[in-house]
Amino acid sequence: MAVTASAALAGAATVVAAAANAAAAGCAVTYSVTSQWTGGFGASVAVKNLGDPLTSWTLTWSFGAGQQVTQAWNTTLTQSGAAVTARNAAWNGNLPTNGSASFGFNGSWTGSNPVPAGFALNGTTCTGGVASPSASASPTGGPTTPPTGDVLSQVHTAGRVKTSGSAVQYSWPGVYFEGRVRGTGVGIVLNDGAADYDVQVDGATVTTLVTPGAGTRWVNGLSNAEHTVRLVKRSENPWSVSEFGGFVAAPGGAILAKPAARTRQIEFIGDSLTAGYGNASGTRDCAGDQVNRTTNADLSYGALTARRLSADYQINAISGKGMVRNYAGGDLGTDYRTYYDRALLSMAGDVWNPGTWRPQLVVVFLGTNDFSTALGSGEPWTADSLVTAYRSAYSGFLQKLRTRYGANTTIVAVGASPFADYVQQVVQERTAAGDSRVRYWLQDGTGLDLLGCHWHYSTRDDQLIADRLGTFIGTLSLNW
CA–CA separation, 146 and 167 (whole Å): 9
Rounded CA-CA distance 303/276 in Å is 10
Closest Cα to residue 109, out of 203, 39, 195? 39
* d(C-alpha 423, C-alpha 436), whole Å: 16
167: helix, strand or coil: strand
> How many whole angstroms separate alpha carbon 232 and alpha carbon 298?
7
Contact 62, 51 (CB under 8 A): no
Angle, nearest 10°, between helix axes 420-432 and 383-405? 50
DSSP 263-330: SEEEEEEESHHHHTTTTTSSSS---TTHHHHH--GGGSHHHHHHHHTTEEEEEEE-TT--SS--GGG-
Cα dihedral 105→111→114→120 (10° resolution): -60
Long-range contacts of 464-469 (CB under 8 A, 24+ apart): 465/301, 466/301, 466/302, 466/304, 466/305, 466/308, 468/443, 469/301, 469/305, 469/363, 469/441, 469/443
Indicate the helix (H) or strand (E) that contains 384: helix 383-405
Degrees to nearest 5, angle at CA 15 with 12 and 21: 150
- 301-308 vs 459-473: helix crossing angle, rounded to 10: 40
The answer to whether the CB of 12 falls within 8 A of the CB of 5 is yes
For strands 213-233 and 176-192, give the pairing: antiparallel
C-alpha separations of 95 from 22, 169, 322 in Å = 16, 38, 43
Residue 421: φ, ψ to 5°? -65, -35
Peptide bond into 418 cis (omega under 30): yes
Concatenating the DSSP letter of every residue in 91-107 gives TS--B-TT-EEEEEEEE
Marked catalytic residue, from 132, 235, 272, 458? 272
Greatest CA separation found in the chain? Answer: 72
- Known catalytic residue: 80? no
Q: Is 118 left (phi over 0), alpha (psi -120 to 50) or beta?
A: left
Query: Could you list the active site residues?
Result: 272
